Amino acid sequence: MGQVFDVQYLLGLVIAFFTSWQVKTLLGLIVLDVLLGVAAALRAGRFDFGRLAEFYRSNVLPYLLGYLAFYVAVGFVIPAASLGELGEPVNEVTVTVAWTALVGSLLKSILGNFTLLYRAE
């Protein structure tokens, strides 16, 4: 009938997710993006707490929750044991591709905020 839902396995995936260097990198990039965005808005005289809250609602939470959902889904959809010795590398590559897309998006935003902050007037 298949594998029974394993709560301990799911908990292990979630803990591995939040302790991974990839998530720490994403959080660091998000903090950098926020700080540069706030600094650029202050420089332009357009800072608004409402926009900051909207940024968290529309970018930060979806990035982290979406990546978490993808990370956990890959762990269940492609269990490492089902592919033998290829299972773990396939999972790692799949998750790394998603992580790279998020990092690229954040770097684009960081570059945009940096440009706004340090552009010549």
Q: What is the pLDDT of residue 5?
A: 64
Give the count of beta carbons closer than 10 Å to the beta carbon of residue 41. 17
**pLDDT for 106 beyond 60:** yes
Confidence of residue 114 (pLDDT cuts 50, 70, 90): very high
Q: Phi then psi for 20, rounded to 5 degrees?
A: -80, 155
Categorize the per-residue pLDDT at 1 as very low, low, confident or very high, splitting at 50, 70 and 90.
very low
Kindly report, residue by residue over 9-18, the tens digit of the pLDDT: 788 888 988 9
Amino acid found at 41: A
As a whole number of angstroms, the distance between CA 31 and CA 26 comes to 9
Each residue's pLDDT tens digit, 56-73: 888 888 888 888 888 888
> What are the distances in angstroms from CA 8 to CA 3, 18, 66, 69?
13, 15, 21, 16
pLDDT of residue 121: 63
Rounded Cα gap, residues 49 and 117, in angstroms = 18
Exposure class string for 100-119: b at 16+ Cβ within 10 A, else e: eebeeebeebbeebbeebee
